[in-house]
Amino acid sequence: MALISLPIVWALSVLALQYAGAARSPPMTTLPSGVCTASTFTAALPKGASVELAYPVPGGGSFGEGPSNLGYPLNATNLPELCAVIIRVASGGSAYRFGLFLPTSNSWNSRFLATGNGGFLGGIDWVDMAPGPHYGFATLSTDTGHNSASDQSWAYKNAEAQKDWGYRAMHGSVDLGKRLTAAYYGRDIAYSYYSGCSTGGRQGLKEIQISPNSFNGVLVGAPAWPTTGLMSWLTALGTWNLPASDPKAFTTTSQYSLLASTVLSQCDKVDGLVDNIISTPEACKPDLGVIQCGKRGVDAKNCLTPQQIQTAKKVWNDYYTSKGDLVYNGLELSGENQWDVYTLYGNTENFDTQWEKYWVYSDKSWNLRQYTENVFYDSVRANPGNATADAFDISGFRRTGGKLILYQGLADGLISARSSLHYYNETVKAVGGGNVDDFFRFFQIPGMQHCLGSPAAVKAPWYIASWGQAAKLPGTAGGYSVPGFQDPEHDALLALMRWTENGTAVDSIIATAWNDDSSGQDLSVYRQRPICPYPKKATYDQKGDPDLASSWACA
Ligand SMILES: *[C@@H]1O[C@H](CO)[C@@H](O)[C@H](O)[C@H]1NC(C)=O
Ligand SMILES: *[C@@H]1O[C@H](CO)[C@@H](O)[C@H](O)[C@H]1NC(C)=O
Ligand SMILES: *[C@@H]1O[C@H](CO)[C@@H](O)[C@H](O)[C@H]1NC(C)=O
Ligand SMILES: *[C@@H]1O[C@H](CO)[C@@H](O)[C@H](O)[C@H]1NC(C)=O
């Protein structure tokens, strides 16, 4: 199957011409140890791989593939001077592509950074690569073997493309990307890193499971690691929210807001401080009677039916099959504002059943009403693309001296925060010895949603410059690190580097909330607070300003 369609090839050649034109105006730097032309890279390529493009981007320039890059149509902007490269690799009957941003030889920090993808999106994620070269990293992103936005029909009866998405495109891209980087600069890479969240979290964990030597340091957020369970749970959620008995019962966005504000008002204080942040969601048992339609004193226009309340409880609870097998952990209290991302479909046709259609059953007519818990067992049996990252014994990675930081927003409404804790727990068991502090630390971020951000009513400190955060922070297009706090105390990637290279273990990271990070108009600090390695929690000293990190300690 041709993964790159004709219009895209066309767009790419147009792109190459435009770049060639644009490149004439700013003076081009001749790199001491490598020139940014296709032939530089062609010489270093194995059979089956080819250079699609090598293009010198001037300082302040932008780069991307535009709208033809379906998964990632936006371009990276405000880049430092670098060489942008696109490599295409034939892969078991299919093919994948990857992109590299190679800073000038003088500004290269001798390090390599691979970045992850999101959801099932196909394409090179240029925007989320952009912070990398600002640090000096040679930075990589893979297209995971397909070009698509939300449509997953590329996976239909296509085991090779499924494998590419599952792990092969990342592994092959990292392997070749590192070799090309070393060849380009004419010297070895000193350290290799990974940064990704969500699907990118899964990709990072998967890579260290199959290849302990790929990275020295790995920064992984909200990993979608149990693909088979997660995708089955997602479909189950559709059946709970759209019960066959009453298809009109689905919960609306304004009802989710009501649910979120009710949970916030009851659970905020449980951690001992009223600050709009639910820091111990596991300790709260909200009373939803106060918003149940029909109960005395409840606004009949702004309430949840008993059935909707039961559905909410199912979403919070871990989901087991009738045989007692865990399908997926429940979402933690405080993520309700994001629940509509999955469930806001008032009919079964629009609900996302692509997993069953294209991955598990190869049946394009598969319908939500066909869901039974067998979907879970069939998914586990098929394990399409071997995407699930559940080989918990990563002692091979530990033996190489590798360091792993896992972080997770507790208000994540898409990936279960408990599922990340589950991953941590299983790893502690699997690597033996019961203590993993020397190489693996898990940080929960109270009030942070999926990978980044915190609801307006919460404004929890969430920003640690991890994947997607700097690239997507409004007002800092092309920014990187933590504006105003570019140090390993505040920047999770710098903290990981210091741990990996200097042995300074990461005992806390100070997370930041900005005054206005929705428009980016005011990126002064609203409040800061440390996040702590599990099982420690940030603990208030009961006297200082709670908005200052210095009033908190990890205990
Ligand atoms: C991104 O870059 C492509 C190729 O140069 C260009 O066609 C497109 O207009 C750019 N998009 C934006 C939003 O700048
Ligand atoms: C699937 O991936 C795991 C790592 O997550 C690996 O240990 C296992 O060997 C792989 N299985 C196959 C059949 O490739
Ligand atoms: C993880 O382990 C802790 C401590 O053993 C336990 O309290 C917690 O319930 C476990 N959580 C999950 C999701 O496995
Ligand atoms: C390691 O320590 C040295 C000496 O203090 C410092 O200059 C360097 O920046 C540190 N490296 C990292 C990655 O933090």
Segment 81-88 shows an average pLDDT of 98
Q: Using a 6 Å cutoff on CB, does residue 75 contact ligand 1? A: yes
Tell me the ligand closest to 206's alpha carbon.
2
Average pLDDT, the chain: 91
Give the pair of three-digit tokens for residue 329.
């952990």
d(CA 527, CA 462): 10
- pLDDT value, residue 117: 98
Q: What is the pLDDT of residues 409-436, one digit of tens each?
A: 999 999 999 999 999 999 999 997 779 9
End-to-end CA distance of the chain: 55
d(CA 439, CA 429): 14
204 pLDDT band (50/70/90 cuts)? very high
d(CA 448, CA 84): 33
Lowest model confidence (mean pLDDT) among 264-273, 277-286, 320-329, 341-350: 341-350
Segment 49-78 shows an average pLDDT of 96
* Nearest atom of ligand 2 to the alpha carbon of 383: 1
Lowest model confidence (mean pLDDT) among 81-90, 304-313, 519-528: 519-528
Q: Using alpha carbons, select from 359, 368, 405 the residue that is nearest to residue 507.
A: 405
Q: What's the whole-model pTM score?
A: 0.93
- The answer, yes or no, to whether residue 327 has pLDDT greater than 70, is yes
d(CA 357, CA 360): 7
Give the pair of three-digit tokens for residue 555.
């205990």
* Nearest atom of ligand 1 to the alpha carbon of 63: 2
26 pLDDT band (50/70/90 cuts)? very low
* CA of 209 relative to ligand 2 center, distance in Å: 8
Task: Output the residue whose Cα is nearest ligand 2's atom 9.
Answer: 210
With 0-12 / 13-18 / 19 or more C-beta atoms within 10 angstroms meaning exposed / middle / buried, residue 255 is: buried
* Nearest atom of ligand 3 to the alpha carbon of 318: 13
- pLDDT value, residue 248: 76
Domain spans of the chain?
229-385
* CA of 169 relative to ligand 1 center, distance in Å: 25
* CA of 502 relative to ligand 4 center, distance in Å: 6
* CA of 70 relative to ligand 2 center, distance in Å: 29
Ligand 3 is surrounded, with C-beta below 6 A, by: 329, 418, 421-422, 425
d(CA 95, CA 164): 8
* CA of 316 relative to ligand 3 center, distance in Å: 16
